[in-house]
């Protein structure tokens, strides 16, 4: 029994070393080798952290009907907060996100594009101008009071930013500045593959 004690101790030390080795290696890696850390995230857009639940917005459609509270839920929504005019930059952005949505293929119906205009007259005018090239684009007018409008909630220095909202009604990402269409497509495709909602 005494003769087996050194062998048991050696076995215990080997097992303890094998158990602790991954933790020690990971600690060394993160503490002393920052050059080996990943240089970027897997998402393309700018994450909103934490994701922000949508407030109650006062939206109406071009027919003047109040938009249901869940209109920006149950689908992956790409929202454009526009002005009364859709200039060239606006049109380019809308075309890009139309193509990204179309590229989703079988998941196409799980995503929607929404243009929120500042008033009903602008919404009606824009619907008429954009309907030919953007039949799937939902155009709403924002009738909320100051401080409770969509433009008060969604914030970006880029006036042509696209805001991504998940099917549960959480604003979680911004696409602003110069955009490579493969980036947002990759984000949406990956999210739809990983999620059963929407």
Write down the mean pLDDT value for the chain. 89
Who wins on pLDDT, 13 or 158?
158
Tell me the backbone φ, ψ of residue 125, rounded to 5 degrees.
-65, -45
Q: How far apart are CA 72 and CA 166, in angstroms?
A: 8
Q: What percent of the chain has pLDDT over 70?
A: 91
Q: How far apart, in Å, are the Cα atoms of 82 and each of 11, 73, 91, 162?
A: 69, 20, 11, 10
How do residues 50-69 score in pLDDT, each as one tens digit? 999 999 999 999 999 999 98
Say if residue 40's pLDDT is above 80. no
- For 116-133, the pLDDT digits (tens) are 999 999 999 999 999 999
Residue from 143, 129, 132, 150 nearest 82 by CA:
150
As a whole number of angstroms, the distance between CA 57 and CA 28 comes to: 49
**What one-character DSSP code corresponds to residue 115?**
E
Percent of the chain exceeding pLDDT 90 equals: 72
What pLDDT, on a 0 to 100 scale, did the predictor assign at position 34? 64
Query: In the chain, count of helices (H) and strands (E)?
Result: 5, 7
Can you name the residues that pair with 165 across neighbouring β-strands? Answer: 77, 171
For tokens 């989703």, what's the residue? 104
> Averaged over 171-196, what is the pLDDT?
92
In which element (H, E) is residue 48 found?
A: strand 46-53
- Distance, in Å, from the CA atom of 124 to the CA atom of 119, rounded to the nearest integer, reads 9
The residue behind tokens 């196409």 is: 108
């Amino acid at each position: 029994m005494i003769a087996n004690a050194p062998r048991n101790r050696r076995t215990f030390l080997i097992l303890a070393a094998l158990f602790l080795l991954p933790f020690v290696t990971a600690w060394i890696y993160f503490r002393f080798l920052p050059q080996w850390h990943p240089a970027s995230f897997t998402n393309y857009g700018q994450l909103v952290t934490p994701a922000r639940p949508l407030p109650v917005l006062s939206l109406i459609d071009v027919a003047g009907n109040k938009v249901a509270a869940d209109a920006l839920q149950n689908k992956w929504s790409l929202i454009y907060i526009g002005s009364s005019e859709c200039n060239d930059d606006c049109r380019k952005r809308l075309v890009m996100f139309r193509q990204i949505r179309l590229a989703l293929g079988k998941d196409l119906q799980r995503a929607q594009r929404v243009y929120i205009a500042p008033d009903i007259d602008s919404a009606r005018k824009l619907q008429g101008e954009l309907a030919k090239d953007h039949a799937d684009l939902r155009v709403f007018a924002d009738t909320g009071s100051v401080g409770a409008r969509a433009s008060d909630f969604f914030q970006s220095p880029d006036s042509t930013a696209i805001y991504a909202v998940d099917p549960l009604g959480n604003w979680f990402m911004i696409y602003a500045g110069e955009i490579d269409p493969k980036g947002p497509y990759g984000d949406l495709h990956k999210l739809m593959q990983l999620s059963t909602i929407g």
